Amino acid sequence: MLKLLFRKEMGVILLFLLLCITGLVLVSFMGIQLYPRTNRPAVTSTITHQGYSALAFSQEYAEMIESQLMAIPGQDRVEVRYGNNQSTFTITFDWNVDSQQGMLDAESAFSQIEARLPSDLAEISKVRFSTGENAGFLIIGIGSPTESAENLYNTAQGILEARMTRVEDVETVEILKVEELRAEIELRQHEMLQYGLVIGDIDTALQQGSNARSIGTLKDGNSQLSVQIIASQSDLLDIGQTIVRETASGIVRLDDVADISIEYAVPDVTFVMEGQRGIQIIATPVDGGNIRNMSNDIIDIVYMARETGELPADTQIHLLLDPAAYINRSIGHVIKAAIIGALLAMMVVFMALGKIRNTLLIGISLPVTMVLSFIPLYLMDISLNLISLGGMALAVGMIVDSAIVVIENIHRFRVEENYTPGDRKHLQDLIVRAVRQVRSPVIASTLTSVLVFLPISFTAPLTNAILGEQSIV
């Protein structure tokens, strides 16, 4: 094999240069995430059924929906949560199911369900499909000593959110609310009976008049009937004027049959930063996306908004959770390990052999090998994450060990045979013999290290998901 390489020396050099360039190009297309896939593929969807309680909807349609979902190939678990006006369905697939095929099968099943539901109920929205990647997420805290949290929230929601959702690889952007206007409507039973109204009439009027949506439960009987809605300020302040019914004797408005109270309320989740209320921005990447680039782009948008005056000049920006920092640190550790390993190996080789050429060969072998490793990693769809980068750091030592053994043996042959510089044929011959002599020990040593990690590929799915990429690398 080595003799063939010597005969095609220029071609081999050009091939290695081409492969190195390919590796550098492909690494830019690889997904960059915090951790590898540690969850099974899953899809979550909702069915909106306004006017149906959880019990009524489940009794009428549960058997049809659940039978369709259970028939999805590769599904392992189906979780169903029936609620008033809306129900949620989560399908979790087996570990070995291809995520793209699972998504297509789930979409096909929901299309069939939608076709069999009444037209006024057939409103299915896919919340999210997860391939199981544990990409992480970005959390940014924003506050200002001179600007209220409400104004910061309005700016972020009106300007920044639109820009952030256009960032490549971003899937969702969530801005935590700081305060919301809430209305509570208590229906008066006597007036409802007087006008011949039922709860469905109020629900329909609210949907048509103010785009409000029920978020509570409606109880009949001796207890009071109540509906709670959350909408924009302009809607809620005029909600009492919502027309419920038009009759020959006049118009029946909501405040004719209900007691309405409107007040500001603290939302379910609020955010306090350094003793003052602020806002929190949470960005999640798409599955398989580059979370490092996504984080950098969104952070740049926030800082640019402060520089252009869209946010106050004294806006305090805190990176509460920045996955790009973890990934950059991990990449830095791998590069640091490679540099330290190369320097130590070069120093040992130089002290033992005293040859600059041998020393440089050790230094070159490490970066070239790491760059070439990006090609199979890309082909096997392995992302750059803390686990795979840790495997690369461990591989640095294996590369150095093998390189030192081979180069030292070649140097020994040159000394023992009194090699004369310029005798190219003699040099090629002794290199072939020197490599052949240590070939088996080097291969055995490398296989020993490989066999240590090989059993991980045959462990339980979760263990393999967490550590499998390290064994592959």
Beta-bridge mates of residue 143 = 316
CATH 3.30.930.10 for domain 180-265: no
Residue 13, φ and ψ in degrees, nearest 5: -65, -45
Q: Are 456 and 471 in contact (CB under 8 A)?
A: yes
Residue type, 400: V
Render pLDDT for 354-381 as a digit per residue (tens, 0 to 9): 777 777 877 787 788 888 888 888 888 7
- Confidence (pTM): 0.52
Q: Is the pLDDT of residue 288 over 80?
A: no
Proportion of the chain above pLDDT 70, given as a percent? 77
User: Which of 80, 48, 46, 55 is closest to 218 using CA atoms?
Assistant: 55
pLDDT tens column, 397-447: 777 778 888 888 888 888 888 777 777 788 788 888 888 888 888 888 888
Residue 229 pLDDT grade (very low, low, confident, very high; cuts 50, 70, 90): very low
Q: Where in the chain is the domain with CATH 1.20.1640.10?
A: 2-30+326-472
Of 339 and 63, which is predicted with more confidence?
63
pLDDT confidence band for 470 (50 / 70 / 90):
low
- Phi, psi torsion values for 281, nearest 5 degrees: -110, 125
Mean pLDDT value of segment 467-473? 61
For 2-30+326-472, the fitting CATH number among 1.10.287.130, 1.20.810.10, 1.20.1640.10, 3.40.1390.10 is 1.20.1640.10
pLDDT of 462 above 60: no
Nearest-10 crossing angle of helices 323-353, 386-416: 10
**pLDDT tens for each residue of 325-337:** 777 777 777 777 7
Residue 75's H or E segment, with its range, is: strand 75-82
**Chain region(s) in the chain for CATH 3.30.70.1430:** 42-130
What element of type H or E holds 351?
helix 323-353
User: Nearest Cα to 380, choosing from 313, 473, 449, 245?
Assistant: 473
**Model confidence band, residue 54 (pLDDT cutoffs 50, 70, 90):** confident
Band of residue 124 on the pLDDT scale cut at 50, 70, 90: low
For residue 80, pLDDT beyond 70:
yes
Per-residue tokens: 34: 């915090």
Q: Is 290 helix (H, G, I), strand (E, B) or coil?
A: coil
Using the Cα atoms of residue 292, residue 297, residue 300 and residue 302 in order, give the sign of their dihedral.
negative
Task: Let me know if domain 42-130 sits in CATH 3.30.70.1430.
Answer: yes
Q: What is the mean pLDDT of the chain?
A: 76
Q: Which residues of 87-126 are buried (b: 16+ CB within 10 A; e: fewer)?
A: bebbbbbebebebeebbebbeebbeebeeebeeebeebee
Could you tell me where in the chain the CATH 3.30.2090.10 domains are found? 180-265
* CATH superfamily name and code, 138-178+269-321: Multidrug efflux transporter AcrB pore domain like (3.30.70.1320)
